[in-house]
Amino acid sequence: MRVRDIMTKGVESIDEQSTLEEAARLMVQLDVGALPISDSDDRLVGMLTDRDIVVKALAAGMTPAETSAGDLAQGEPIVVIGADESVEEAIELMTRHQVRRLPVVDGAELVGMLSQADICRYVANDQAGRLVEAISAPTSAPAMPALPAGTRPH
């Protein structure tokens, strides 16, 4: 089975100059948790997730109205898969890079998104279980700012 057979088509990307606030609004409008980030030449330069907005930006004191999507993509290589690659190759990439979504390209053009959920709908239960387990393995969490003495998170 090829990636193009099970991917979600019609994916939108966000420009790297767009603010995190604009990205969050687009995520709500599209009912998605991630957006590919593209540059002015429509080349993919990163991925932005709702978790990135919270963990990398808000928790670090960045202002969503002033921080660009591209600011969060700096130094993070984007992992993509070709539309004609096998689902097994997609599983291997997701496992190796511990990502739940892969932008799907045909040449340099963004043509879809492949999610962990897309794969789980089409593969055997044991293969889906191994994928979820591998992607969900703990990684080192980013350093969180310390709370002032005597305070607790709500």
pLDDT tens string 42-87: 889 999 999 999 998 998 999 999 999 999 886 678 899 999 999 9
Domain of residue 109, CATH code: 3.10.580.10
- Number of domains into which the chain is organized: 1
Provide the pLDDT for residue 139.
57
Q: Which residues contact 97 (CB under 8 A, 6 or more apart)?
A: 79
- Does residue 62 lie in a domain region? yes
Name the pairing type of β-strands 81-82 and 101-106.
parallel
- 114 domain residue, yes or no: yes
Question: Residue 54: inside a domain, yes or no?
Answer: yes
Q: How far apart are CA 123 and CA 2, in angstroms?
A: 12
| Residue 149 placed within a domain | no
Where helices occur in the chain by DSSP H, the ranges are: 3-6, 20-30, 50-51, 69-73, 87-97, 116-122, 125-135
pLDDT of 72 reads 86
pLDDT band at 144 (very low <50, low <70, confident <90, very high): very low
**Predicted TM-score (pTM) of this structure:** 0.77
Which of 32-36, 96-100, 137-141 is modeled with the greatest confidence?
A: 32-36
More confident call, 94 vs 126: 94
Residue 103 belongs to a domain: yes
Q: What is the residue range of 81's domain?
A: 3-135
How much of the chain is in helix, strand and coil states, percent to nearest 5? Answer: 40, 20, 40
20 is written with which tokens? 């995190």
Note whether residue 50 is domain-resident.
yes
Residue 68 lies in a domain: yes
Lowest mean pLDDT among 20-34, 77-91, 123-137: 123-137
